[in-house]
Amino acid sequence: MNEVTTIDRTQREYSDAVKKALARKPQLYINGEWVDSSGGATIDVEDPSSGKVISSFVEATDKDVDRAIAAARTAFDDRRWRDMPPVAREKVMHKIADLIEDHADELAELEAIDVGKPKGMASVVDVPGAAAHFRYMAGWAGKIGGETQAPYAMPGGMMFGYTLKEPVGVCAQIVPWNFPLLMACLKLAPVLASGCTSVLKPAEQTSLTALRLADLIHEAGVPAGVINIITGYGHTVGDRMVKSPSVDKVAFTGSTEIGKLINRNATDTLKHVTLELGGKSPVVVMPDVDVASTAPGVAGAIFFNSGQVCVAGSRLYAHKSVFDKVVEGMAETAPFWAPRPSLDPEGHMGPLVSKEQHERVLGYIEAGKRDGASVLMGGDVPSNDGGYYVNPTILTDVNPQMSVVREEIFGPVVVAQRFEDLDEVVKEANDTQYGLAAGVWTKDVSAAHKIAARLQAGTVWVNCHAMIDPALPFGGYKESGIGHEQGRLGLEAYLETKSVLMKL
C-alpha cells in the first residue's frame, strides 16, 4: 500500500492517570490485597506503537499461584460470596460496571498502549463492552434456580423431587491479549453471578487493564479471595493453574494449539472446561449486494483491531460477478485503515501487539507470495514506523492448499476468492478445521437464512460482522472450542445441577 500522505507515527504523551498506573509497584492481587511475589522476576510491558518498554509486572512463582488458588478455595468453601443475598451480589456487580464507566478514559488509554489498538476504538468497544458483561450477568444473580416435580407414587411411597443449580467452584480463567479487559470481564461476570470464585491470569503481553480492574473489583466490595488476579507466562503460571487439584473449572480463550493442551491437562482431574479458540472465518458476498456499502463492511471484518480477532473475516468468497468491484472497494479503504499509533485520534487501526506477532504475520504474507498469491493491497510495512506496524493486506490468486488460506494468521490479511455456485462456496467455506464464525452479505433474506443454516460456525452474521451481544451465547464448532460463553449458556457453564429426591 502506498501511503498518500506521510503519517507521523510518534506515540502521544500518556495521561497522568496512565503514568500513575504504569509506575505502580509490580504486585499480585490475592485474597483481597496487593501482595509481593515470593520471587523477584518481572515481565516488561512494551508499547507496540513505539516498541519501547513502559512498565513491568510480576512473573508469578508456583508459590504465588498456589497462594491465589488457596485463597479462592477458602472463599468458595466458606460460602462468603455464594451465600450473600442475590440482590446484594447483583448490586456489587453493577458497582463494578459503574466504576469501569467512571474510569473509562483511563482504561481505554491503558488498553490502547498495551495492545496497540486505537484508543477511540477501545473507548467505544472494549470499555463499554466490559461494563455490559457485568450488567447483563448481574441480572442473573437472582434468577438461578432449578425445577420441581409434582409428587408422584413409587413402590415405597410418595416421592418429591427437585433440582438445584449450584456454583461449580474455583475457576482458573486465562484470557487472551487481543481484548484483555473485555475478555477478563466476560469471564469474571458469570463467576460472580453464579457464586463461584476465580483466579484470573491475563496474557503476558497485555496485563495492564486486568491489574487496574482488580482495583475496581476491590473498591466495589467483592469479598477477599473471591477474585484473584495474578500475572505471568502461560506455560508456567497458566499451566499450574490448569493442573491444580483445587481448581474445579478452567475457562480459556486463545489459540487452538494451547486449548488442546489445556484440555488434555484438565482431564487428569476431569475439570469442567470452556474453550474459545481459533478461527478462520469465511465471508460470503452474494451477487445482489450493494458493493458501495458492502466493500467497506467486508474490509472492516478483517482490518478491525488489526485483524487480531478470533472471528476476523479472513477468508473472502465474493461471487465472480462482483468480485473485482468488491476487492477494489476494499482497496479504496486503505487510507482509512492506514496504521497509526494507538493514541493518534485519527487512527482506526494500530500496530500489532508484539514483535513476535509482527514477524508471524509478515512471515505468512511472504509464504503466500512464495506460493503464488498476488498482493492487491499492502503486503508490507509502513516506511517510517518505530513500532510493530503492518499495512492492511489483500491477497488474491490463492487456493485452498496455501497456508494463508488454511491457517489462522491473526493479522490484517484477507485472502480473496471468487465463486460461482452456492453449493461450491458453502463447501469451501466449511473446508476448515475451524468453525467459530462466518459472515454473509446479501439483500436476499431467504438466501441469508439458507446459507446461515449450512455454514458450520457458532455465530453467523448477515450484512455485518463481529457484532457481539452479551445476551447471546458465543462458542465454536469443530476445533474452535468447547462450550459457550455469554448468555444463559455462558452462565450455566459455571453451574452444577443437583437432583434431590425425598420420600414423603
On the CB side of 26, CA atoms within 13 Å amount to 19
User: Max CA-CA distance within the chain?
Assistant: 86
The answer to whether 116 touches 342, Cβ cutoff 8 Å, is yes
Taking alpha carbons only, the member of 243, 268, 269, 241 closest to residue 71 is 241
Catalytic annotation present for 3: no
Active-site residue identified among 46, 59, 204, 276: 276
| CA 18 to each of CA 105, 286, 290, 370: distance values in angstroms, whole numbers, following the listed order | 10, 46, 44, 44
N-term to C-term CA, the chain = 77
User: Which of 423, 444, 331 has the alpha carbon at shortest distance from 377?
Assistant: 331
- How many Å separate Cα 469 from the centre of its chain? 13
Give the chain's length: 504
* Pairing of β 437-441 and β 459-462: parallel
DSSP 234: I
| Three-state secondary structure readout of 287-305 | CCCCHHHHHHHHHHHHHHH
- Beta strand pairing call for 495-503 and 157-167: antiparallel
**Phi, psi (rounded to 5 degrees) for 421:** -105, 135
Residue 411 contacts residue 360 (beta carbons within 8 Å) = yes
Q: Find cell 483466579 and name the residue.
A: 199
Report the alpha-carbon distance of residue 203 to residue 254 in Å, rounded: 9
Task: Find the helix or strand (DSSP H, E) in which 5 lies.
Answer: none
Residues recognised as catalytic: 276
